[in-house]
Chains A and B, each alone.
Chain A
Amino acid sequence: MLYREALNRALDEMMEKDETVVVLGEDVGFYGGNYRVTEGLYAKYGEKRVIDTPIAENSIVGNAIGMALGGLRPVAEIMTVNFILIAMDQIVNQMAKLRYMSGGKIELPMVVRTPQGVSKQLAAQHSQSLERFFTSVPGLITMVASDATAAYYGLKKAIELDDPVIFLEHELLYPMKMEIKKRENFDPFRADIVKEGKDITVVSYLKMLHDTLKAVPVFEKELNVSVEVINLHSLNPLDMETIANSVKKTKRFVVVTEEPKTGSFAAEVVSKVSEELFYHLDAPPLRICGEDVPTPYNRKLELLSIPTPEKIAQQIVYWGREHGI
């Protein structure tokens, strides 16, 4: 199964189960979705539940908010995160705040799905990771799906929630082959420990989780350590309990994200770790992030601007050697 097929299955099962679930977005219907996530849904559920919209992101989200107010459970797709900036007014001022502004009377059961990240040579305006914009808005839940299991169960949970969710995917994960692991009690707000270890805690998600896992055997061998890898399913709220338990054991913390470093979500995680776990730390926390540049188009420069398995391994080795490993 492909990652995108896991998302498709989640949508399909939720639409089958609950007729208030509707899908809307650019080319999600007749065409089956730009990344084929909504493939087959138009034929199965018809144009009333799988709605092709104009190229107008602000109204896609605005319409979804209206639908949620009116009793539906809309799942809006924004073709890529790069186009979501136009919809930020609806997201920040309406979607995130309606429950608060109504004194808790309004429930907003809606999901905005969108892929982000550096794909292959789509240039600066189409190669961004913008999780920081969502995680910094009170009232929004920001979920990420790093593998097929999180895509399938995570999206279903997001649709079931009565609060608005930004659901982030990654463009390079769509065609990746993965299996959905059976997880009856999947809780998106609990992070997964994908690999246990005792010397370093590494937190990551989306594409970078996969790159981190490729780097792990290399730096484990080079530093002669065992590393614990944590996969986040939700960025806000953040499962600090799992992170804290791990850091108390390993005393060393690394976070790997694809976004530019300055002002990043990674910075937020490191802040929390420093605030809550300072006396447990045996080394300064390390952020491995993208460079603070617009993503270059040239493939070699593009790869230089984001973490790769090689760079992750190198940076962790250099950092480890400098700080007492």
Chain B
Amino acid sequence: MEYKVVMPQLTDTMEEGKIVRWLKKEGEIVKKDEPLVEIESDKAVMEVPSMKEGVLVKILAEEGEELPVGAPIAVIETEVEKAQITAKKVEEKPAEKEEKKEEIKIPQKKPEKKEALPEGTASPSAKKTAAQLGVNIKKLQEEGKLPVPAHEKDIKSYFYSRFFTKSALELLQRYGLSPEEVYQSVKKERIDKKAVEKYIKEKNIPEISAPSDIQRILIKNLSKSTQIPVYHITHPFDVKYLLEKKDYTLTTYLIKVFGDVMYNYPELRTIYKEDSFYTYPTSNISVAIAVDNELFNPTIKNVEDKTLKEIYEKLQEIKEKAKNRNLSVEDIQGATFSISNLGMFGIKQFDAVIPPFHSGIAAVGTAVEGVITITFTFDHRVINGAQAAQFVIDVEKKIQAMRSLK
């Protein structure tokens, strides 16, 4: 049977996904649960396993393509002997996606057999430049120091590179600088790394790099977050007692407190999406975890039913997973409230950006004489100031009540 693989809904807030990489080629056999494709959701890049065993007869969505959830991305023929016939049939059907989205792709060009050009071949402008600089194209090509045919930048790059040390050249490459422009400015017969560093500083040249997959997702989400109408509530909390107890981290205590209190506040368990409110039955809290330059937001679920010990252990587990970058789909979805703690850095007070599809986030500062300042950011569409204020006061009461908690 022909089975259509569709863009999976990897998180409950995912609306579209991007094909990052196909892990199987057309014509290959896939087993059930074997990784088939890597997909970028609104939260992470994940390997998606095959739901069926069979032959991947056709890939419908190319790498880099973004498609809505439910859109067909591949065809698997579950009866292997049929697969060959199907493969042909599918190929004959022209793809039905003309003019749907004007995304321009540059496919790999099939290598063509070309007559090899003799040494000495160069573009007119390369020859002119070589004559000006006294570069012998033919000789250098024979020595393998210039490509055939040579272009102007090859000549210039060869000529001007001679003035640079090896490490200086590496630095030029990292900053996308041409040897010529740096030489013209520095005008020395021997340019070392230090001189290039000085040039970079003087000209204030930035190093350009692309964001990682995770950073891309974060950037996309942050842009979505700016569309959320928010307000902030800042309030001090006396946590002397919790700090003295030292059984668990402060974050553990706070997750428990927020989880218990938000269980009584359906607004905090609610997210707004496409003209509808989604109210979830349990207290699910995500925790901002920074690993190097990347930020993860894994979730601790059913906080109201968990003990402090369970929360602490779960927290350690997701931290470890984030560090190893192997958070699962389950780990990163379902939260409606988030917590971000910069207290360990000694920050007294700050406010945080709500991750998309959350009701709010708590930004936790450091303890000053046993008192921490938390700034809450709330999504005004799901909770108004009066209820939020009540929530904050209930949190305070709960922290006080912790004294009697074992």
Chain B residues closer than 8 Å to A281, beta-carbon distance: 123-125
Contact of A282 among B102, B106, B109, B151 (CB under 8 A): B151
Interface flags for B343-357 (1: CB within 8 Å of A; 0: not) read 000000000000000
Q: Does B145 contact A (CB under 8 A)?
A: no
- CB distance A218 to B104 under 8 Å? yes
Neighbour of B102 across the interface among A251, A278, A309, A323, CB < 8 A: A309
Q: Which residues of A contact B123 (CB under 8 A)?
A: 281-283, 323-324
Shortest C-beta distance, A170 to chain B (Å), equals 19
| Cα separation A251 to B122 with both chains bound (whole Å) | 14
Are A279 and B128 neighbours in the complex by a CB distance under 8 Å? yes
User: Residue of B at shortest CB range from A313?
Assistant: B104
Question: Of residues 92 to 112 in B, which have CB atoms within 8 Å of A's CB atoms?
Answer: 94, 98, 102, 104-107, 109
Q: Does A314 contact B (CB under 8 A)?
A: yes
Nearest B-chain residue to A274, judged by Cβ: B124
Judge whether B152 is part of the interface by a CB distance below 8 angstroms: yes
Given the known inter-chain contacts A279-B124, A318-B109, please indicate yes or no for A300 contacting B152, CB distance below 8 A.
no
Judged by a CB distance under 8 angstroms, whether B149 is at the interface is yes
Which residues of chain B have C-beta atoms less than 8 A from A88's C-beta? none
Are B154 and A214 in contact, CB atoms less than 8 angstroms apart?
no
Chain B residues with Cβ below 8 Å from A299 are 98
The answer, yes or no, to whether A2 is at the interface (CB within 8 Å) is no
Quote the shortest CB–CB distance from B48 to chain A (angstroms).
Answer: 28
- B98 near A300 (CB under 8 angstroms)? yes
The 3 closest A-B pairs by CB, nearest first: A324-B151, A282-B125, A218-B104
User: Is B105 a contact of A310 with CB atoms below 8 Å?
Assistant: yes
A123 at the interface (CB under 8 A from B): no
The residues of A that contact B154 with a CB separation of less than 8 Å are 324
Residues of B with C-beta under 8 A to A218: 104, 106
Residues of B149-188 at the interface with A, using a CB-CB cut-off of 8 Å, are: 149-154
Say yes or no for B239: interface residue by CB 8 A criterion. no
CB atoms of A251 and B104 under 8 A apart: no
User: B107 near A314 (CB under 8 angstroms)?
Assistant: yes
List B111-137 residues whose CB lies under 8 Å from chain A: 123-126, 128
Mark contacts of A180-214 with chain B using CB atoms, 8 A cut-off: 1 yes-contact digit, 0 otherwise.
00000000000000000000000000000000001
Whether A279 contacts B151 in the complex (CB less than 8 A), given A218-B104, A317-B106, comes out as no
Supply 4 further A-B pairs (C-beta < 8 A) apart from A282-B123, A283-B123, A283-B151. A280-B128, A321-B109, A324-B123, A324-B147
- Whether B94 contacts A324 by the Cβ 8 Å rule is no
Q: Which residues of the partner chain A approach B104 to less than 8 Å between Cβ atoms?
A: 214-215, 218, 309-310, 313
Interface members, chain B 260-276 (any A CB < 8 Å):
none
B124 touches A278 (CB 8 A): yes
Give Cα A311 to B170, complex, Å.
35
Flag whether A19 is at the interface (Cβ < 8 A).
no
> CB-CB contacts of B184-195 with A at 8 A, as 1s and 0s?
000000000000
How many angstroms between the C-alpha atoms of A106 and B123 in the bound complex? 49
Residues of the B chain whose Cβ atoms lie less than 8 Å from the Cβ of A219: 106
**Contacts A251-B152, A324-B149; A280 near B124 (Cβ below 8 A):** yes
The distance in angstroms between the C-alpha atoms of A281 and B127, with both chains bound, is 10
Which residues of chain B have C-beta atoms less than 8 A from A13's C-beta?
Answer: none
**Nearest-Cβ distance from residue A67 to partner chain B, whole angstroms:** 44
A5 to B40, CA, bound (A): 45
Evaluate whether A214 and B125 lie within 8 angstroms (CB atoms) in the complex, with A251-B152, A324-B154 already known.
no
Please name the residue on chain B nearest to A217 by beta carbon. B104
Question: Which chain A residues border B109 with CB–CB below 8 Å?
Answer: 318, 321
Binary B-proximity of A302-325 (CB < 8 A = 1, otherwise 0): 010000011001100110010110
Are A314 and B124 within 8 A (Cβ)? no
Given contacts A278-B124, A279-B124, A324-B154, contact A300 B94 (CB under 8 A): yes
Q: Which residues of B contact A300 (CB under 8 A)?
A: 94, 98
Chain B proximity mask over A215-230: 1 for CB below 8 Å, otherwise 0: 1001100100000000
Cα–Cα distance between A74 and B154 once the two chains are bound (Å): 56
Q: How far is the CB of A182 from chain B (nearest CB, A)?
A: 30
Report which residue of A251, A314, A317 has the largest number of chain B beta carbons within 10 angstroms of its beta carbon: A251
**B106 / chain A contacts, CB cutoff of 8 Å:** 218-219, 222, 313-314, 317
B109, closest chain A residue (CB): A318
Query: Nearest Cβ distance between residue A31 and chain B, in whole angstroms?
Result: 31
What chain A residues lie within 8 Å of B153 (beta carbons)?
282, 324
Interface string of B50-67 (1 = CB under 8 A from A): 000000000000000000
19 contacts between A and B (CB under 8 A): A214-B104, A219-B106, A222-B106, A278-B124, A279-B124, A280-B125, A281-B124, A282-B123, A282-B124, A282-B126, A282-B151, A282-B153, A283-B123, A309-B104, A310-B105, A314-B106, A317-B106, A324-B152, A324-B153
B112: nearest chain-A partner, CB-CB: A322
**Residues of chain B within 8 A of A303, CB atoms compared:** 98
Q: Which of A98-137 contact B (CB under 8 A)?
A: none
Nearest-neighbor residue (CB-CB) of B176 within chain A? A224
Q: Which single residue of chain A is at the shortest CB-CB distance from B153?
A: A324
B residues in contact with A278, CB < 8 Å: 124
Rounded to whole angstroms, the CA-CA distance of A279 and B124 in the bound complex is: 5
Q: How far apart sit A309 and B102, CA to CA, in the bound complex (Å)?
A: 9
Q: Which one of A281, A321, A324 has the greatest number of beta carbons of chain B within 10 Å?
A: A324
Closest residue of chain B to A221, judged by CB? B106
A314 vs B108: C-alpha distance when bound (angstroms): 9
B66 to chain A, nearest CB (A): 16
- When chains A and B are docked, how far (Å) is the Cα of A91 from the Cα of B151? 46
Residue of A nearest to B105 (CB): A310
Inter-chain CA distance A303–B97, complex, in Å, is: 14
Q: What's the minimum C-beta distance from B150 to chain A, rounded to whole angstroms?
A: 8
A283 to B128 alpha-carbon distance, docked (Å): 13
For residue B102, which residues in chain A have a CB less than 8 angstroms away from its CB? 214, 309
Question: With the chains together, A281 CA to B125 CA distance in Å?
Answer: 5
Please measure, in the bound complex, the distance between the C-alpha atom of A280 and the C-alpha atom of B152, giving whole angstroms.
10
- Interchain CB contact under 8 A, B94 and A282: no
A221 CB to nearest B CB, Å = 10
Bound-state Cα–Cα, A299 to B124, Å: 42
A314 to B109, CA, bound (A): 9
